[in-house]
Structure 1
Amino acid sequence: MTGVCPNQTIEQMIARGEIAAAPAILPDQVQPASLDLRLGTVAYRIRASFLAGQGRSVAERLEEFEMHRIDLSAGAVLEKGCVYLVPLMERLDLAEGITAVANAKSSTGRLDLLTRTITDGGTEFDRITDGYSGPVYAEICPRSFSVLVRPGMRLNQIRFRKGQSVLSDADLAALHARMPLVDTPPVIEQGLGFSVDLALPGSTLVGYRAKPHTGVIDLDRIGHYDPTDYWEEVHATNGSIILDPGAFYILVSRESVHIPPDYAAEMAPYLAMVGEFRVHYAGFFDPGFGHAAAGGTGSRGVLEVRCHEAPFVLEHGQVVGRLVYERMSETPTQLYGAGIASNYQGQGLKLAKHFKSVG
């Protein structure tokens, strides 16, 4: 059937060798509608980000751009502001009619850790062509914090599709009428509009801004770091804040979002014309996110926002992104938040899992 492949289909693809890895893929890498990808044992420091381009391999292009290589076996620091290429443990041999899209995991995006997937012959980041066979690489650029990484860490994930299954605006409106997708009047235009909450009840705290000079974050340490060493609080008393050029912010959506079990979603920027900022890169929402049967009653979306060249006034309720919904090819046998380690079910304004809880 047409649609996003659920966990049971991904498991079948692994069994058939369409997805392979050394060492073997672990059961907990398989998510309701995606597969976590693991870093390999070496990182290449490169001069610039690149795509392989049609008819060319990543290894071939790496000869042009490699500066030096780093053994990750005992752990190594990827420094803020530098660009690295890491071969992943997984490789693909997709059947005809199967495409894939990759994205950073939620915790990766919340650390402003730009992580994109490239492949041999690829002409777009994070987009894997029909029937692709070959290796997969992660391009990693730490933007706000230097990070300590090791082989096997999971910074990005991949979602497989049979055909196209994106809901039209009419389909999305009909789905919302059957089972509300947000708890506010929906803004539907090329997806479901997502707005920013700058008037949280009982508090002037509306977000966090990354500090410019901080220590290294070891990505294996969960609930370890004091947020005040890495983040400044952002407060609003009048329903607006001014975004600083080059700064990275963690904010939260005004809407509580619901992803029904038969659907998956991906966050996309709203429009380039809305202002001098964009919502960041961690964009997959799994089936069951905010779903009552999976332990949710709607969940806020955390917004990873980066301001560009000019200061910009962001207002409470301003639409900053959109959720593009897709049909699943089958209902997953495992939902987000239901018996799996889902760090952000029922979330509000929340930093990455590496930081101690605030408040």
Structure 2
Amino acid sequence: MLPSQALRALAETGAVAADAPLAAGQIQPASLDLRLGRRAWRVRASFLAGAGRSVADRLSDFAMHEMSLEPGAVLETGCVYVVELMERLALPADVSGAANAKSSTGRLDVFTRVIADRGVEFDRVPQGYAGPLYAEISPRTFSVLARAGDRLTQLRLRRGAAGLDDAEHAAIHAALGLVDGEALIDGGVGFSVDLSAQAAGAMSGVVGWKARRHSALIDLGRLDAYDPLDFWDPVRPGRAGEVILDPGAFYILVSRESVHVPPDCAAEMAPYMAVAGEFRVHYAGFFDPGFGHGPAGGAGSRAVLEVRCHEAPFALEHGQTVGRLVYERMAERPEILYGRDIGSTYQAQGLRLSKHFRAA
């Protein structure tokens, strides 16, 4: 995984280029924030470019109308949009990319993924890719006001395969601690849900938040601005300590374990499906080097879980395993770490909504 200094070097050589100079804070310890460009299209269906075709060519088949994001535009719940991104790539032959929604995007239940020309997978940029990037955006619960320059997605670049096997996960956990307590290691490090009345950072008795449908518009540029109770209902456990998830509803919960991403590693929260397909945890999953790292001000950081239930109501219980963190090695230690020194929003977090909402 390429660290911040390597990302900056790629920008200086033109391998990562943009319509406007990179903004302050856009380069993170192991990722690059991608900015919305000025043009967006409402499309009738999600699509991939496909082998030998460009996104621009496919837009002629799917676009319903074009809109400008320079003054700002409302992206409505239940609609699908494609937005050109400011950044474009001319990657070295041995460098590939993977994209994901930023944490704040996922916590607003705004589903987004990156599309590249000739792409046959979402959120994947092949080795040596040269061309533009686009974001597909579909708000699920809240309609949002978006503008050119807003950052909804992020890109990681890597050389080769950086993933760790179970033995390597176990060795790093033994040496540095990847979660507090004993680690369940199987294709990554397992974590469980905290439904206790003492969930980290929670107000009295609240273990999560359930999104309200048909709420007001959220301006993506307004931070620490909205009252949570205008958009969310507090979730409290039942008598047996369980939470019944309603089909189709969107929840913010928190992990029971504190999480640690050492400076020489990055991590990704793998989406988790229950065996019967009842619910999915976490749509946005990059964890940068330094998250939960004590010297970077992160001791005790929890993982926030974005949860949606599907076919049937599901009883979620305290301590139930709901997902796993998959770690990867950094090519070298980043010159910056996630945390207090760069003003990272979610360091040392407990149960936490997106940064658009005031602390409950």
User: Secondary structure of the equivalent of 2:167?
Assistant: helix
Cα distance between partner residues in 2 of 1:54 and 1:245: 36
User: Secondary structure of the equivalent of 2:9?
Assistant: helix
Q: Which residue of 1 aligns with 2:172?
A: 175
User: Secondary structure of the equivalent of 1:148?
Assistant: strand
* Cα deviations by residue, 1:18-59 (Å, 9 ceiling, x for unpaired): 000011222421000000000000110000111111111111
* Cα deviations by residue, 1:97-153 (Å, 9 ceiling, x for unpaired): 101000000100000000100101111110111111100000000001000011000
* Cα deviations by residue, 1:73-111 (Å, 9 ceiling, x for unpaired): 111100011000000000000001101000000100000
Cα distance between partner residues in 1 of 2:282 and 2:267: 15
Task: State whether residues 88 and 131 of structure 2, in contact with CA within 8 Å, keep that contact through their aligned partners in structure 1.
Answer: yes
Unaligned runs of at least 5 residues, structure 1: none
Task: State whether residues 269 and 282 of structure 2, in contact with CA within 8 Å, keep that contact through their aligned partners in structure 1.
Answer: no
Unaligned runs of at least 5 residues, structure 2: none
* Cα deviations by residue, 1:290-318 (Å, 9 ceiling, x for unpaired): 00110111310000001112111111111
Q: Which residue of 2 aligns with 1:296?
A: 298
Kindly state the Cα deviation for residue 270 of structure 1 after the two structures are TM-superposed.
3.1
Q: Which runs of 4+ in 1 moved over 4 A?
A: none
Cα distance between partner residues in 2 of 1:303 and 1:129: 29
User: Secondary structure of the equivalent of 1:177?
Assistant: helix
Cα distance between partner residues in 1 of 2:117 and 2:277: 34
Cα distance between partner residues in 2 of 1:177 and 1:298: 17
The TM-score with structure 2 as length reference comes to 0.97
Q: Which residue of 2 aligns with 1:352?
A: 354
Q: Which residue of 2 aligns with 1:130?
A: 127
Q: How many corresponding residue pairs?
A: 355
Cα distance between partner residues in 1 of 2:302 and 2:282: 16
| In the alignment, structure 1 residue 278 sits paired with structure 2 residue 280 | yes
Q: Which residue of 1 aligns with 2:335?
A: 333
Task: State whether residues 80 and 144 of structure 1, in contact with CA within 8 Å, keep that contact through their aligned partners in structure 2.
Answer: yes
The TM-score with structure 1 as length reference comes to 0.97
Q: Which residue of 1 aligns with 2:317?
A: 315
* Cα deviations by residue, 1:186-225 (Å, 9 ceiling, x for unpaired): 1111101121101132843110000011010001111111
Which residue identity is paired with 2:266?
A
| In the alignment, structure 1 residue 28 sits paired with structure 2 residue 25 | yes
Task: State whether residues 269 and 320 of structure 1, in contact with CA within 8 Å, keep that contact through their aligned partners in structure 2.
Answer: no
| In the alignment, structure 1 residue 82 sits paired with structure 2 residue 83 | no
1:146 alignment partner, one of 131, 134, 143: 143
With over 3 angstroms needed to count, the CA separation of the structure-2 counterparts of 1:270 and 1:189, relative to structure 1, is farther
Task: State whether residues 85 and 133 of structure 2, in contact with CA within 8 Å, keep that contact through their aligned partners in structure 1.
Answer: yes
Task: State whether residues 37 and 84 of structure 2, in contact with CA within 8 Å, keep that contact through their aligned partners in structure 1.
Answer: yes
Q: Root-mean-square deviation (CA), in Å?
A: 1.1
Kindly state the Cα deviation for residue 280 of structure 1 after the two structures are TM-superposed.
2.7
Cα distance between partner residues in 1 of 2:115 and 2:191: 28
Identity of aligned residues (%): 62
Which residue identity is paired with 1:145?
F
